[in-house]
Amino acid sequence: MLPDPSFLGMMNAMRSLSVSVCGLLASSIAMAQTAVGPAQPELPAVGEELTYAVDFAGVVGAYLKLKVGEGPAAQPGSRVLTAYIASTPMVQQVWRIRDKIMALYLPGEGRTAATRLWEDENGRRLFREETYEANRVSVSERRAEGSRTFEVAAEQPVLDVFSTLFELRRRPLVEGSVEKARVYISRKVYEVDAKITREPLEYRGSEVPAIKVAPALKHKGKTVSDVRFCLWFSDDEQRKPLRIEADISYGKLAGTLLPANEITAAAPATPGPAGSEATATAE
């Protein structure tokens, strides 16, 4: 029996948003922030792992795991951020998702240097490389239908979605401030204004102190009004991204950070996608 087209649409939206939602929600990084805030880690800690249960209408449909690795020796202080995205066993019956994304993040420069994507969805495979250059993002894609390259104008510094998440954790976030950022997502560069507030968050059955980040997105000067996102960080020196929410045409999509003792075999492991596994690097 063929799956309901509306259900497939929902699953596709869930997959796309699970890739981009973290960066969109975290894209409030302060590009020129000087206010004093809690002490923050100087760099993402090598070996840190964050795993999210991504749910739609209360049903977990995918897991997202983020890992921090040490970058190449030629770029001291750099970090390789690796994200694994996999649909749950129930959803895999109609939409099998098994994606891997890598980003080379330069904390000392507050920017992304390069990204790589291995996408495997119901047998459809795509490999994409993005290089962040002085005034553009250069993209190369390979898939069964053929290959292509293109460029997107982008004034530096620019962050990819996952580097943005970690960069934001390193910055002071002042109550009532509006933070600015420039983020590259899916062939577009977004200018972001994000309002910072503090409020309790209902997190896994109890209220915890949290920092709320509510971004407003602009593309080429025009406000993007058809997407709404919110992100909550723990209000402490760790700034753990606890909760992510996005309103989409199908309803509310949300990602919740799982405590280490609740991560089970259902969460994505660290499989290697077909083809090269070389670490993302920049020239």
Give the pLDDT score at 227.
Answer: 67
Number of folded domains in the chain?
1
* 106 located within any domain: yes
* 159 located within any domain: yes
| Integer Cα distance of 120 and 99 in angstroms | 6
* 160 located within any domain: yes
* 11 located within any domain: yes
* 100 located within any domain: yes
pLDDT in tens, 255-264: 999 987 777 6
| DSSP character at residue 107 | T
pLDDT at 119 over 80: yes
The two three-digit tokens of residue 97, written as one number? 């998702």
pLDDT at 132 over 70: yes
pLDDT in tens, 195-237: 999 999 999 899 999 999 988 889 888 998 776 788 899 999 8
Give the pLDDT score at 199.
Answer: 94
- Predicted TM-score of the model (pTM): 0.79
* 109 located within any domain: yes
Question: If pLDDT is split at 50, 70 and 90, which confidence band does 42 have?
Answer: low
- Contact (Cβ atoms closer than 8 angstroms) between residue 130 and residue 137: yes
Domain range holding 175? 5-262
* 153 located within any domain: yes
| Integer Cα distance of 139 and 129 in angstroms | 6
- Contact (Cβ atoms closer than 8 angstroms) between residue 178 and residue 195: yes
Greatest mean pLDDT among 22-26, 28-32, 175-179, 278-282 lies in 175-179
* 278 located within any domain: no
